Amino acid sequence: MDDTQPKKILVIDDEIYIRDSVIGFLEDFGFEVIDAENGRIGLEKFESQKPDLVLCDLRMPEMDGLEVLANVAEKNPKIPIIIVSGAGNISDTVEALRLGAWDYIIKPIQDMTVLYHAVNKVFERAEFIEEKHQYRRDLEKANVELKVSLETLEHARDQLVQSEKMAALGELVAGVAHEINTPVGVGVTAASFLDAKTTEFKKVYSAGELKRSELENYLQTVEEVSNSILINMERAAELISSFKQVAVDQSSENRRRFNLKQYINEILLSLRPRYKKTGHTIEVICEDNIELNSFPGAFSQILNNMIMNSLIHGFEGIEKGQIRIEITRAQGMIHFVYKDNGNGMTPEQKEKAFDPFYTTMRGKGGTGLGMSIVFNLVTQTLKGSMECESTEGQGACFTMIFPEHWEQG
Ligand SMILES: Nc1ncnc2c1ncn2[C@@H]1O[C@H](COP(=O)(O)OP(=O)(O)OP(=O)(O)O)[C@@H](O)[C@H]1O
Ligand SMILES: [Mg+2]
C-alpha cells in the first residue's frame, strides 16, 4: 500500500442518498471515493479501479452483498470489506462475517464517526497483516541466506584443513629429499671414486706392472671407500624409514640395539651442515654405556626437530647460542633433558607448542607440526612423557622421560 496516495474506497449501495452522505463524509477526511448502485457494477469497479477498501450493502438488486463479498474474498482476500446493512438483517450480517467480511455497520448510520472508526480500524488491521507477511518473507529470506553462508563456511573450513595437511605433506617431502640428499650424494661420490681407482688398478695389473705396495694401497682404498658407502647407504635407509614413521608408523619395524651416546653423535654429525657456519654450540652429556633396544629413527626425528627449533626460533637474532643435551639413568628410566639458552617462549607459545599446526612462523616455512610429532614419538613410540619449561628471554627446556626397556605390545 502506498502511503502518499489517498486511500481509495468503493461504496456499493442501491440507495443514492446513502451513497451521497457516505461519499461526502469520507471525502472530507481525504479519502478518494468511487461508488456503484448495485453488486454487479460494484464488482466490475472492484476489478477495474482496485480500491483499498469496500463498503457494501447486503440487499441490492441484480447481485446482493453476500455474492459480492464471496467474489471479493476469492479475488483478493487482502482487501478489507465492511458490510453496511439494515438493522433487520442480522442473520445475513452473521453470514457475511462468516464469509470473510472484516466488520459491519448498521443502517441508517446515525453517527458518522462510527463509520470513520470502522474504516480506520480495518485499514490499521490490513497494514498490520501486510507487515506481518513482509516480516515473515524477510525472515524466510534471511534464513535461506544464513543457510547458504553456513554451507560456504563449512566448505571453507574443510578446504583449510585440507590445505594445511597438504602443506605439511609438502614440507615433509621436501624434508625427506633434503635429508637423504647428503648420504646419497656422499655414496655416489665414493662409488665413482672407487670406480676410477679400479679402472686405474686394472690398467696397471694388465700391463704386468703391479707392485705389492700398489696392491696394498688399492685394497686399503677399497676397504675405506666401501665402508663409507655402507655407512651412508645405511643412513639413507634409516632416514627413509624414520620419515615413514613420521607420517604414521608408530609400530616401527626398525627397532634395534644401539648405543645412545654414539647414535646422538651420529645424528649431530648429520645436522652439522645446518649450524657449522654459525657460532652456536651443541654439548652432549651422556654415559658411554647406555645401550637401548629401541627406535633409532624416533631419536633422530626428535633431535632433528628440537635442534632445528633452537636454531630457527630460539637463536633468532642470537649469535652464540648454546644447546645442552643431558642424559641420565635412574630406576630403569632415561631422563633426556634438552635445553637451549635462546629467546624462550611466551606463556601462550609454551602452552601451545605441542599442538599440531601451532607455529609462530606461519607463511615463513613453519607448519607447526614439528613439536607435535616429537610429542607423539616420545609418548607413543617411546612410551614416555614430555614436558616443556620456558620463560621469555631465558631459553627453552624440554624434559623427556621414557623407560630403558619395555615389553612389546
Ligand atoms: N627452542 C625453541 N625456542 C623458542 N620457541 C620455540 C622453540 N621450539 C619451539 N618453539 C615455538 O613453538 C612453536 C611450534 O614449534 P613446531 O616445531 O611445532 O613448529 P615450527 O617449528 O614453527 O614449524 P615446523 O613444523 O616447521 O617445525 C614454534 O613456532 C615456536 O614458536
Ligand atoms: Mg619446528
pLDDT, position 89 = 76
Distances (CA, A) of 130 to 71, 133, 136, 169: 21, 5, 10, 58
Tens of pLDDT, residue by residue over 116-147, are 999 999 999 999 999 999 999 999 999 999 99
pLDDT, position 406 = 64
Residue 35: pLDDT band (50, 70, 90) is: very high
Residues sharing a CB contact under 8 Å with residue 240, sequence separation 6 or more, in sequence order: 176, 180
CB atoms within 10 A of CB 384: 18
Q: What is the dihedral angle through the alpha carbons of 324, 309, 387, 253, rounded to the nearest 10 degrees? A: -100
Among protein residues, the one whose CA lies closest to atom 31 of ligand 1: 360
Ligand 1 close to Cβ of residue 311 (< 6 A): no
Ligand 1 close to Cβ of residue 369 (< 6 A): yes
Ligand 1 close to Cβ of residue 301 (< 6 A): no
Mean pLDDT, the chain, whole residue set: 87
* Bridge partners (DSSP) listed for residue 9: 33, 53
297 Cα–ligand 1 center, Å: 20
Ligand 1 close to Cβ of residue 398 (< 6 A): no
With CA atoms as reference, report the closest residue to 40 among 71, 74, 77, 81: 71
Mode of pairing for the β-strands spanning 103-107 and 81-86: parallel
Residue 243: pLDDT band (50, 70, 90) is: low
Atom of ligand 1 nearest to the CA of 371: 18
> In whole angstroms, what is the distance from residue 295 CA to residue 299 CA?
7
Q: What is the pTM of this model?
A: 0.48
pLDDT, position 363 = 74
Distances (CA, A) of 399 to 48, 90, 239, 255, 374: 90, 96, 24, 23, 12
The residue to mutate among 243, 309, 390, having the most atoms of ligand 1 within 8 angstroms of its beta carbon, is 309
